[in-house]
Amino acid sequence: MSTAAFEMTVSVEPGDIDEQNHVNNTVYLRWVQDVAVGHWRALANPEAQQRIGWVVLRHEIDYKMPATLGDEIVLRTWVGKATRLTFERFTEILRKSDRQIFSQARTLWCPIDAQTGRPVRVSTEVRAQFST
C-alpha cells in the first residue's frame, strides 16, 4: 500500500496573478488538479491509465495566506479513503523555501471508464496502491 505523499514543484507565473497582486483562487484549483494527475500518471500502470479516467465530485479549498509572483510552490498530495467509486484526495500547496502552507484542499474524485465516461469500480490493487 502506498501512503506516501507525491510532490511536484511549480513557479508562480505572471498570468497566475490577479488584481489583488497575488495568485488567483482559480490557479490553486488548477494546481490541485495538476498534482492529482501527476500522481496518477507517476504511479498507475499504463493499462490502468488507459482504462480509468477521473472526474471531480467535490472540491473544498481553504486559503491560509496568499502566494505571490516569484514564489516557488510545492504541490503535495495523497489519497485518503478510497472506496470502489470514490477517492478522497488531500492537497497542500506550500512555499518551497520554508514549507509555509498557502492552501489546503480536500477533493472527492470518481473513477470513470475512459471509453464510456461512466463511473467504474476500481480494482482492489489500484485502491491499495493509492489509498491510506
Contact 69, 17 (CB under 8 A): yes
pLDDT score for 1: 39
pLDDT in tens, 87-107: 999 999 999 999 999 999 999
Which one-letter amino acid corresponds to residue 94?
L
Residue tagged 471508464 (cell numbers) = 113
**pLDDT > 50? residue 60:** yes
Mean pLDDT computed over 74-90:
94
Residue 131: phi and psi, rounded to 5, are -90, 155
Q: How confident is the model at residue 132 (pLDDT cuts 50, 70, 90)?
A: low
The CATH architecture that domain 6-130 belongs to is Roll (3.10)
Give the number of other CB atoms < 10 A from CB of residue 45. 11
CA distance 20 to 101: 19
Number of residues that make up the chain:
132
CA distance 29 to 99: 19
